[in-house]
Amino acid sequence: MDLAFIIVFGLMVGSFLNVCIYRIPRGESIVFPRSHCPKCNYQLKAWENIPVLSFILLGGRCNSCKTRISYQYIIVEVLTALIFILMYDRFGLTGEFVVSVFLLSLLVIITFIDLDHQIIPNKLLLVCLIPTAYILILDSLKGPGIFSGILSHIWGALGLGLGFLFIGLFGEFIFKKESMGMGDVKYAALIGLILGWQKGLLASAIAFFSATILLIIFLLLGKVSLGQRVPFGPFLSLGVFVTILWGSNIIHWYLKFLY
């Protein structure tokens, strides 16, 4: 029963994230007007606005002008529901669940705006500070320590921010053009602040690893050329997602492997 509710709630949140992904970069309000077809402006009726189901019922087309609706809508809805299921499985119905789905929902918006427009809006990074503040308050209650508690998060923000700035400048020097945007640098600093330096480092490692693999596959398929700007935000988001789910296990395993 709980799970069915989580899935439906996740799909509904995913549907709202689609609205944010489409409207925020265009400077439109995310509340008004009601959802409409981007092509013919046809306003969706309630039954045409049900996550996943409407897409299937309408055959993936606008009911008025029959323009194809992007698969991205259904992908975002299913992905969000999946995030909700996995976080529920990981944390149960706790404060940690609420914070992680709030944070990851924002990361879904950032990811798809970066994919569509190659930008990470500052506004969204600022909204991320709300769940981040909750995490920082919880962690600062755990008491002092050089790299644990609140200090770990500050080191994380500084380390990842400066690290990505350095990589960006280095890339610019090698390729003679911008390779890592300031959006990515700010996003990395935020992730360091959220996760602390150990888990922040793990999330960046996952991001670089997955980006490299995907880049090699795309180069082999001839889909991208060397030196072309590839949005890095989505890989950082993936890194955060994997780290929230399995970060502690991976770090324990890695330390045991070392010593």
Interacting residues with Zn ion (CB under 5 A): 37, 39-40, 42, 62, 64-65, 67
Shortest spacing between CB 35 and Zn ion, in angstroms: 11
Residue 44 vs 214, nearer CB to Zn ion = 44
Number of Cβ atoms within 10 Å of the Cβ of 156: 26
Residue found under tokens 């600062």: 140
Q: How far is C-alpha 140 from the geometric centre of its chain's CA atoms?
A: 25
Instruction: Give which of 83, 91, 72 is closest to 13, Cα–Cα.
Output: 83
CB of 75 to Zn ion, least distance (A): 20
Q: 3-state class of 57 per DSSP?
A: helix
The structure tokens listed for 97 are 């669940």
In angstroms, what is the minimal distance from the CB of 37 to Zn ion? 3
Structure tokens that stand for 128 in this block: 């991320």
Q: CA 203, CA 189: separation in Å to the nearest integer?
A: 12
Closest CB to Zn ion among residues 44, 162: 44
CB of 63 vs Zn ion, minimal distance in Å: 8
Q: Which of 62/99 has CB closer to Zn ion?
A: 62
Cα-based angle 127, 130, 131 (whole degrees, multiple of 5): 115
> For Zn ion, which is the closer residue by CB, 55 or 97?
55
Q: How far is the CB of 176 from Zn ion (least distance, A)?
A: 44
Nearer to Zn ion, 46 or 226 (CB): 46
Q: Which of 222, 208, 125 is nearest to 167 (CA)?
A: 208
Min dist. Cβ of residue 26 to Zn ion (A)? 17
Residue that the structure tokens 């890339």 belong to:
171
Q: Which is nearer to Zn ion, 61 or 177 (CB)?
A: 61
163 vs 167: CA distance, rounded Å: 6
